[in-house]
Amino acid sequence: MSMVRVIFGAVIVAASFGVSAAKQSVSSASAIAIARSNACMGCHAIDRKLVGPSFQQVAKKYKGDPQASAKLEKKVKNGGAGVWGSIPMPSHPRMNDTDIKAVVGWILAGAPEK
């Protein structure tokens, strides 16, 4: 894949052809802030299981799945259960689609901390 990097101040935007826009345009710090402000970190940690799987476990599970973004965006918005056990994930109907795409893109990129 071709990789293009453009630096805007302190934020690096990496574009990789064939990768979703959400993965390309959000910094780890921004994605983590969005996740914290939407209560995601109450059940998920970056690198270890809490109530739900770690974000890195989610990235590993969905690696190579071309439908992963759509599946996870829908799961965040509507909630669900059964993929990771019996504890349901609550819905986040008030979380806007842009923030959902940013967090899901960051997760699928491996949930890097920096």
The predicted pLDDT at position 4 comes to 39
Q: Which residues pair with 96 in a beta bridge?
A: none
What is the SS3 assignment for 88?
coil
Per-residue pLDDT of 35-46, as tens digits, reads 999 999 999 999
* pTM for the model: 0.77
Q: Does residue 107 contact residue 20 with C-beta atoms inside 8 Å?
A: no
The predicted pLDDT at position 71 comes to 97
For residue 11, pLDDT over 90 is answered with no
Q: Which two three-digit tokens encode residue 20?
A: 């979703």
Phi/psi of residue 113, nearest 5 degrees:
-80, -15
For residue 85, pLDDT over 60 is answered with yes
For residue 24, pLDDT over 90 is answered with no
How far apart are alpha carbons 3 and 29 in whole angstroms?
A: 21
How far apart are alpha carbons 93 and 2 in whole angstroms?
A: 36
Domain boundaries of the chain, sorted by first residue: 21-108
The predicted pLDDT at position 81 comes to 92
**What fold characterizes domain 21-108?**
Cytochrome Bc1 Complex; Chain D, domain 2 (1.10.760)
Q: What is the mean pLDDT of the chain?
A: 84
C-alpha triplet 12, 101, 17: angle, nearest 5° = 55
Q: Which two three-digit tokens encode residue 107?
A: 């997760």
Give the pLDDT band (50/70/90) at residue 25.
low
Higher pLDDT, 53 or 6: 53
Residues in the chain: 114
